[in-house]
Amino acid sequence: MNLESFHRQSIEDREGFWAKQAELIHWNKPFGQVLDYSKPPFARWFLGGETNLCFNAIDRHLASQADKPALIYVSTETGEEDTYSFRQLHEEVMRMAAIMIEQGVGKGDRVLVYMPMVPQAVFAMLACARIGAIHSVVFGGFAAHSLASRIDDATPKLIVSADAGSRAGKVVPYKHLLDEAIELSAHKPSCVLMVDRKLAPMTRIEGRDLDYASQREKHLDAQVPVTWLESNEISYTLYTSGTTGKPKGVQRDVGGYAVALAASMKHIYCGNAGETYFSSSDIGWVVGHSYIVYGPLLAGMATIVYEGTPVRPDAGILWRLVEKYQVTVMFSAPTAIRVLKKQDPAYLTAHDTSSLRALFLAGEPLDEPTAQWIEEGLGRPIIDNYWQTETGWPILTVAHGIEKTPTRLGSPGMPMYGYDVRLLHEQTGEQVGVNEKGVVAIMPPLPPGCMQTVWGDDERFVDTYFSSIPGKLVYSTFDWGVRDADGYYFILGRTDDVINVAGHRLGTREIEESISSHSSVAECAVVGVADQLKGQVAMAFAVLKDPTVIATTSGRLALEGEIMKVVDNQLGAIARPSRVHFVTLLPKTRSGKVLRRAIQALCERRDPGDLTTIEDQAALEQVREALAI
Ligand code: PRX
């Protein structure tokens, strides 16, 4: 079978194709209709079928590999290194599930997970899946304000958290941020379950905070059966940034997600039961959900949960783990590789990485020099894959489980089965030709595993994703792309105000709102600017209410520092702009729209393009001056 005919089959006979893939997972009750697309663009998969993600990830493997490793925990921050077999993982998840049930958590209730990379975070996610609760993991790098808006949107009954994480040897306390977030939020969870790693002091809130270790002791022998769920019930929500300041809860189903992940493990990642998978991502991102937790476990693989950076204790750590645990499939982000590129290349060959079938990279554009450097240095195949929080699994890549399609530097590959990908003209909605730039779009229905809707807001789902191409009900990825004559796609950046900092997706509007909350700021614009290491960084231009505050250099520097601190405290350090430039007016169109693309072009020393609609040319001059162009 070649990839092209496999792909064609998946589009021409969707139901037949996915019914076959659905055999990869266990169904407690078989599904009837494969696809219900009676209410476009909402797609429902495997109707009436009953399954459970936790059962497929753990219980299903107990008969054949109960004592094989399931979760390998490595923290180079604390020195912990533990292996949990499938049997032990099963026990831990049942204990966690019993704690949740005792706190009144049941099917459909939300559980917010705000955790560093610790095994208990994975137990919590799987425990939710087991009992039909909906988990909503919030990245540990987000600060109180971001966390509070997610608490208000998800309205969780329970929050699972920890005293602290650790990054590059520095303790990063979580508890006070969580307390502050709950203070800020209108919704108050009835219970907060705290894992005490003894890294940072914690103040316990009586009647609300529970200690995980003592709760676990109480439930050591817990037996918690799985709750079978109809395929279209909700497994989780995961917040992601878009054009507006308010993050969207990407909502996913149970059956479709399980089938999509199991199929991707077979056809794309080529991982087999009994082997080890290592993704250096974080559970707070979609890669962590799909390819630290669910994907590898569904395939019966051991998954490495790693707390640490790629360069500590030295730049050979990732490869040392590959050798030690005989990793066959690895997943990382281009930024991690660019960080390693600054180190001695001898680290790449200091360990035996021959077990590795391929290193998958995703989350941001993989530039050609980085791809070449790692491919040559490591001597293992590098596979770029392009997808989004919304899709949950790759849209563009190669599927070596189907056909050994050669990879091409700078390209993530071609459309994956299930995705009817089109490149459309931004205004006319017509398909563009070979080598012509267009918006990467997908003709609905979206395949299994993709988002069902925006949590609590069906209208927002349709308005956001299916309304940007005039006259056509198509899903927009908000990425620009081109396709070459051989069918390889290339991604050219976002069409909207989303930026990608070191593989972390952020909305510039969120950062703008945060900066504008500083009492001195009248208005501001934030753009993403190309950066050699992080891919992009945020850069801010602010207009002050009273410009005399920055009459002196020290006044200007102090205010810039203060504004950065506001962003740190509200959103988290990952959103902090690299610079805050002060101007007295922002470049805007006559109708008042900020010309972000023009500002971004100037920051990257490019031509700002057509500026016939600009209200006041002087605004652009100010940007140039601020940038010393
Ligand atoms: O702009 C694209 C970029 O990251 C966005 C999605 O980010 P997120 O929702 O965090 O999901 C990451 C899942 C891997 C996309 O819209 N992006 C992701 N992968 C690539 C990429 N850009 C270029 N090449 C990629 N391989």
- Per-residue pLDDT at 288: 98
Give the ligand 1 atom nearest the CA of 505: 10
- As a whole number, mean pLDDT of residues 469-496 equals 94
Ligand 1 centroid–CA 362 distance in Å is 6
- Beta-sheet strands, E only, within 241-380: 248-253, 276-279, 302-307, 327-332, 358-362
Tell me what percent of the residues of the chain surpass a pLDDT of 70: 100
Residue nearest to atom 16 of ligand 1 (CA): 388
Distance 396 CA to ligand 1 centre (A): 10
Calpha distance 73→619 (Å, rounded): 53
Mean pLDDT confidence for 303-327: 97
What is the domain-level CATH number for residue 612?
A: 3.30.300.30
Domain C-terminal end among 438, 470, 494: 494
Q: Is residue 140 part of a domain?
A: no
> How confident is the model over 433-460, as pLDDT tens digits?
999 999 999 999 999 999 999 999 999 9
Contact 434, 484 (CB under 8 A): yes
pLDDT (0 to 100) of residue 401 = 98
What is the per-residue DSSP string for 100-169? HHHTT--TT-EEEEE--S-HHHHHHHHHHHHHT-EEEE--TT--HHHHHHHHHHH--SEEEEESEEEETT
Torsion, Cα 387 390 391 394, to 10 degrees, reads 10
> Is it true that the peptide bond before 445 is cis, omega within 30 degrees of 0?
yes
Please work out whether the CB of residue 412 comes within 6 Å of at least one atom of ligand 1: yes
pLDDT of the residue at 244: 73
Quote the number of domains for the chain. Answer: 2
Residue 577 belongs to a domain: yes
Do 478 and 508 sit in the same domain of this protein? no
Pair (517, 593) in one structural domain = yes
Q: Is the pLDDT of residue 609 over 90?
A: no
CA gap 454, 399 in Å, rounded: 29
Residue 261 lies in a domain: no
Decide whether any atom of ligand 1 lies within 6 Å of the 158 Cβ: no
What residue numbers bound the domain in which 483 lies? 423-494
What are 52-93's pLDDT values in tens digits?
Answer: 999 999 999 999 999 999 999 999 999 999 999 999 999 999
Interatomic CA distance for residues 283 and 425, integer angstroms? 35
Backbone angles phi, psi at 168, to 5 degrees: 50, 40
137 vs 139: CA distance, rounded Å: 6
Co-location of 440 and 489 in the same domain: yes
Query: Is 362 a pocket residue for ligand 1 (Cβ < 6 Å)?
Result: yes
Among the listed residues 167, 158, 56, 49, the one whose alpha carbon sits nearest the alpha carbon of residue 116: 167
Residue-level pLDDT at 379: 95
Residue 204 main-chain phi, psi, to 5 deg: -90, 135
| Residue 290 belongs to some domain of the structure | no
Q: Please indicate, yes or no, whether residues 482 and 517 belong to a single structural domain of this protein.
A: no
The pLDDT, as a whole number, for residue 339 is 94
Q: Is 68 touching ligand 1 by the criterion CB < 6 Å?
A: no
Whether residues 457 and 482 fall in one domain = yes
Q: Average pLDDT, whole number, for the chain?
A: 96
Ligand 1 atom closest to the CA of 491, numbered from 1: 23
Ligand 1 contacts CB of residue 535 (under 6 A): no
Q: Which residues pair with 396 in a beta bridge?
A: 386, 415
For ligand 1, what atom is nearest to the CA of residue 361?
A: 26
Helix axis angle, 119-131 to 86-102, nearest 10°: 70
Q: Is there a single domain that holds both residue 435 and residue 522?
A: no
Per DSSP bridges, beta strands 234-240 and 134-137 are: parallel
Last-in-domain residue among 456, 472, 494: 494
Q: What is the CATH number of the domain that holds 441?
A: 2.30.38.10
Residue that is last in its domain, among 445, 474, 494: 494
Is residue 609 in some structural domain? Answer: yes
Q: Which atom of ligand 1 is nearest to the CA of 396?
A: 26
Q: How far is the CA of 194 from the centre of ligand 1 (A)?
A: 32
Residues 616 and 524 in one domain: yes
Gap between the Cα atoms of 468 and 476, Å rounded:
7
Per-residue pLDDT tens digits for 170-198: 999 999 999 999 999 999 999 999 999 99
Confidence grade of residue 613 (pLDDT, cut at 50, 70, 90) = confident
Please give the Cα distance from 207 to 185 (Å, whole number).
Answer: 18
Mean pLDDT, residues 136-153: 95
Per-residue pLDDT at 553 exceeds 80: yes
pLDDT in tens, 207-265: 999 999 999 999 999 999 999 999 999 999 999 987 776 889 999 999 999 999 999 99
Band (pLDDT 50/70/90 cuts) for residue 612 is confident
Pocket test for ligand 1, best of 384, 387, 482, 504 (most atoms within 8 A of CB): 387
pLDDT higher than 90, residue 292:
yes
For the CA atoms of the chain, what is the radius of gyration?
Answer: 24
pLDDT of residue 577: 97
In a domain, residue 184? The reply is no
Whether 622 is covered by a domain: the verdict is yes
* Ligand 1 center to 46 CA (angstroms): 28
Task: For residues 620 and 510, state if they share a domain.
Answer: yes
One domain, residues 523 and 593? yes
Clarify whether residues 619 and 509 are in a common domain.
Answer: yes
The pLDDT score that the predictor gives to residue 610 is 79
pLDDT above 90 for 629? no
Q: Is residue 541 part of a domain?
A: yes
Q: Are residues 575 and 598 in the same domain?
A: yes
**If pLDDT is split at 50, 70 and 90, which confidence band does 301 have?**
very high
Confidence category of residue 591, pLDDT binned at 50, 70, 90: confident
| Residue whose CA is at the smallest distance from ligand 1 atom 3 | 364
Calculate mean pLDDT across residues 356-378. Answer: 95
Q: Are residues 598 and 565 in the same domain?
A: yes
